[in-house]
Each structure stands twice: as structure tokens, then as C-alpha cells.
Amino acid sequence: MHYRNGRQAHNGDRVIKIGYDPNQNDSIIAVGILHSAVAGNDYCNGAIAPIQPTNEGACIVDMLHVDDVMDIIREKGLGKRPEGK
């Protein structure tokens, strides 16, 4: 199992899911922990457990806007979903 950038995927990884449907406009649509994924399939495999909300303080200098993260993802050539195998 491998992520869009080729990195090997493991259950328990912290992940973001990038939309691929034109209605989702290549945006980040989920953040959480990968679970229940089975080796041998990179498509429609596993689930994302949401990360529990916290009362983390908002230190703005330590954050990025989601749109800016998506810009970085696009710059790296990872904005488009790979063709199926």
C-alpha cells in the first residue's frame, strides 16, 4: 500500500485525504488516522478515524492555511490522483 507520493502506507499513520472529485476541487477533505487497510490495494482500502478535538491554543505562527497546504501539494505534482492499475 502506498500513498500518492509513493510513501509506504501503514495502519496507524496520520493522514490527510485529498479530494479527487471535481466537486471537491482538489481540497483536503479529511484528516485522521489510517486504519483497517489491507495490503495489496491502494484504492478504496481502509478507513480514516477522526483525530479527537483538543483545546490546543491557536499560536498562528505555527499554523498553515489548508489552501496553502494544497498549493504545496500541487507544486509537488501531487494534486492529481494517479490512474488506476
The predicted-structure confidence for 40-66, as pLDDT tens digits, reads as follows 888 888 999 998 777 777 777 888 888
Q: Does the residue 54 lie in any domain?
A: yes
Query: What pLDDT is stored for residue 82 in this prediction?
Result: 79
* Cα 15-70-55 angle, rounded to 5 deg: 55
In whole angstroms, give the CA distance from residue 79 to residue 82.
Answer: 9
| 10 vs 61, more confident | 10
Question: Residue 27's domain spans which residues?
Answer: 14-75
SS3 category, 36: coil
| pLDDT over 70 at 85, yes or no | no
Q: Does the residue 82 lie in any domain?
A: no
Q: Does the residue 65 lie in any domain?
A: yes
Query: What pLDDT is stored for residue 25 in this prediction?
Result: 64
For the chain, the average pLDDT equals 85
pTM higher than 0.85: no
Best CA proximity match to 15, nearest among 41, 45, 40, 39: 45
- Cα torsion angle, 29, 33, 38, 39, sign: positive
Q: Does the residue 8 lie in any domain?
A: no
Task: Provide the CB-side half-sphere exposure for 57 (13 A, CA).
Answer: 2
